[in-house]
Amino acid sequence: MKEKVVLAYSGGLDTTAIIPWLKETFDYEVVCCCIDCGQGSELDGLEERAKLSGASKLYIENIIDEFCDDYIVPCVQANAIYENKYLLGTSMARPGIAKKLVEIARKEGAVAICHGATGKGNDQIRFELGITALAPDIKIIAPWRMTDVWTMQSREDEIDYCKAHGIDLPFDMASSYSRDRNLWHISHEGLELEDPSKEPNYEHLLVLSVPPEKAPDEGEYVTMTFEKGVPKTLNGKAMKVSEIITQLNELGGKHGIGIIDIVENRVVGMKSRGVYETPGGTILMEAHQQLEELVLDRATYEVKKEMGNKLSQIVYEGKWFTPLREAVQAFIESTQEYVTGEVKFKLYKGNITKAGTTSPYSLYSESLASFTTGDLYDHHDADGFINLFGLPLKVRAMKMMEVKNNQK
């Protein structure tokens, strides 16, 4: 009986080419496993393609709700954004995928798990750290790093290899962006994006959205509610988080929300350029932020920003299954106890504009914030506060004057 390998299968060019390669190189029985994180129509025809490519079996595992509840929500609560722009769409999905790959490998009695991530990217790290943390005994195969036996060096090579093995693919040279899609976002790399001096070909590139200039000329109001930092309703209708994100994707895409062009610092040390579409995620992040502005006190908000940045780094680097992530997430969750309320905003040509936020736990006091004197605030109290708050500045200035005078 042949040994089995579980292949993380997307149906794309890389993983399709890997199926016959694994059989020829190692004589493995290849069990494909596609993890459905909300790829939509990309899963159509997957089973037929996997079988025609030589796989003995294909699992399609739906983890959409788990992805939303266990990975997206904690990152939204933390406002975890990598390098001020990237909303971690690919990064957040990888630990859930790794977890499911290990489950299928155990079920099938596989000796190895294979992934199609390149040797220059972040995903190889995310997949392998996740798999290692959950199943240190399972071998990991990364073809793109095995240059002695993996001779393909480009997407063109892979297309030729597949054709030589009688595998017909719905790809061609002109449209072969490297993409990753799930419910949260879609990323685009390759082609003209490899040159940062070139403008993205948005007409050819965008999948979820329209450019802001092609969005409707009329804005659209949206209302959301949260309970303890978790989204609960959209425009008055109670929904699961996955349903809310799905609806927000439609609304955001329609109005050109959440399109970013970023040159980011990869974990492996190089910079890479990509375009990300995150229409619903951008709206959800902004709505949650608007509510937190009302509810969190200054000191907690400051530390939470630091922890949010830390979580974004942890997730980006593939360190989800670590004590540090658990500790940071525990802190973030403690800050969400009173992040409950309603957020209203307007979507218009790529912009999200506040239209009113309310919470029973709001720390905003109109009587304190207004220019009229209220019972809780005496303007004269500011004299002593400023004197004490600025005392270090005053002492230093006096000392510098003293030194300067002594030098005359």
Which residue is catalytic, options 49, 53, 91, 123?
A: 123
Whether 94 is catalytic is yes
Q: Is 123 a catalytic residue?
A: yes
- Exposed, middle or buried: residue 122 (CB in 10 Å: 0-12, 13-18, 19+)? buried
Sheet containing strand 4-8, strands side by side: 57-62, 29-36, 4-8, 112-114, 139-141
Angle (CA) 336-223-213 rounded to 5° is 115
CA dihedral 11, 13, 19, 22 (to 10 degrees): -140
**Alpha-carbon span 98 to 127, nearest angstrom:** 6
Instruction: Please pick, among 49, 94, 126, 273, the residue that the annotation labels catalytic.
Output: 94
Catalytic residue among 176, 178, 187, 209: 178
Cα–Cα distance, 92 to 362 (Å, whole number): 30
Residues in the chain: 408
Q: Which residue has the tokens 């299954």?
A: 321
Identify whether 14 is a catalytic site residue: yes
Q: Which residue in 282, 299, 278 sits closest to 290, CA to CA? A: 282
DSSP helix/strand/coil, 377: coil
Residue 352 exposure: Cα atoms within 13 Å on the Cβ side: 24
Judged on CB neighbours under 10 Å (0-12, 13-18, 19+), 4 is middle
Using CB atoms within 10 Å of the CB of residue 100, give its burial: 0 to 12 exposed, 13 to 18 middle, 19+ buried: buried
- Exactly one of 14, 36, 53, 181 is catalytic; name it: 14
Residue 180 appears among annotated catalytic residues:
no
- Which residues form the catalytic set? 14, 94, 123, 178
